[in-house]
Amino acid sequence: MKKAYERFIDYVKIHTTSDEESGTHPSFEGEFDLAKLLVRSLNKIGMKDARVDDKCYVYAYLPATPGYENATKIGFIAHMDTSPEASGKDVKPIIRENYDGSDIVLEGSGDVLSVSRFPELKSFIGDTIITGDGTTLLGADDKAGIAEIITAMETVITENIPHGELWVAFTPDEEIGEGADFFDLKNFGAKYAYTVDGGDVNALEYENFNAASAEIAIKGVSVHPGSAKDIMVNASLVGMELNSLLPSYMRPEHTENREGFFHLIYFTGQVSSAKMSYIIRDHDMNLFNKKKEILTAAVKSINERYGEGTATLTIKDSYFNMLEKIRPHMHLIENARTALKEAGLSPVDVPVRGGTDGARLSYDGLPCPNLGTGGINYHGNYECCSIEKMDKAVEIILNLIKIYSKAEY
């Protein structure tokens, strides 16, 4: 039977970078390459009805062991795409045995994975770790999760571990916020699920940001600068002024834990027009709504100064904090804590400073907290993971399967 890391090494070599500009579903055709491989793997280990649909969602299930039909139906979910924030093409995974806690030179780029910059590396001392070569991301987010789920399913089958009905799903385009868009909840038979898409393996994540996007269009007045007095309205400068009206301490670089932020992710302009794009984030719904009010007030102030219609604001909610939907089902959290402890770990509750497929799915009716995969430094060329932590993630999934086989929730 393959170890999780052996599967992982195969998966990361497949290019699956999602593309938010494509307008297609999936956003990148290469995601089908991994999806088809996963269907073959699921069939090979003995999962039932393994399939990939026309939107590149992979599903499979395992019928309950005879006598366990009344056990809770549980699912495990991970995503196939990698972040467009760094290249995911031609990934070259490098296995480094018995990590000693020192800085690591990434051979392909010469960059240094340093302990001073990434102190989380200290938790990897003594482990065998996997990095890229520095020219791409690695893909542990979330191909490690996929490998861990499939390895756990194969272990259940080969070791005849009693279980209730089990479901797995692998989604495309999570990294661009579309992973739950076409998820087939109607035919996904689990009552509850866990995404396996977090960081360190001892993390338990059941809170995430409330999220919105904000688009601002600014209309300027362009005239020759030699005759511009009291006429010109420079849209780019208006955009800069608007941004200055937002509290500087509410930027990502000044926040942590449950502190929310405004993040200017795009700004382009000239004298006659400008466009700005923000994301708005906060764990607390009241503070989230307050941030939307602050941005609305800033736009109003600009229009009062330069004329109505100078700035036009469009705010769109993206996803919400899953905590509200998890609270009625806290057995998901308590059982996960038990599963972590049985694996010899000390659980750490981590508020997700982002979103997951699980957040969307929780609001769609599938309560779905998040488990760690054993990796760090996601979305960049310094990404790495630990083989031993991946093994622990498999153990945690198996522990949860055993826990849910004993009771109906």
Rounded to the nearest 5°, which phi and psi values hold at 98?
Answer: 50, 60
Choose, from 142, 174, 357, 383, the residue flagged as catalytic.
Answer: 174
What sections of 191-281 are H helices per DSSP?
235-244
- Rounded Cα gap, residues 205 and 339, in angstroms: 14
Angle at 156 between CA 391 and CA 368, to 5 degrees: 70
- Rounded Cα gap, residues 361 and 356, in angstroms: 9
Q: Are 347 and 341 in contact (CB under 8 A)?
A: yes
Q: For this structure, is 364 an active site residue?
A: no
* DSSP-derived 3-state class of residue 308: coil
The answer to whether the peptide bond before residue 63 is cis (omega within 30 degrees of 0) is: no
Choose, from 31, 81, 173, 357, the residue flagged as catalytic.
Answer: 81
Q: Residue 290 is inside which H or E element, if any?
A: helix 285-306
- CA separation, residue 107 to residues 18, 117, 270 (Å): 26, 18, 42
Quick one: tokens of 97?
A: 């045995």
**Catalytic residue ranges:** 81, 174
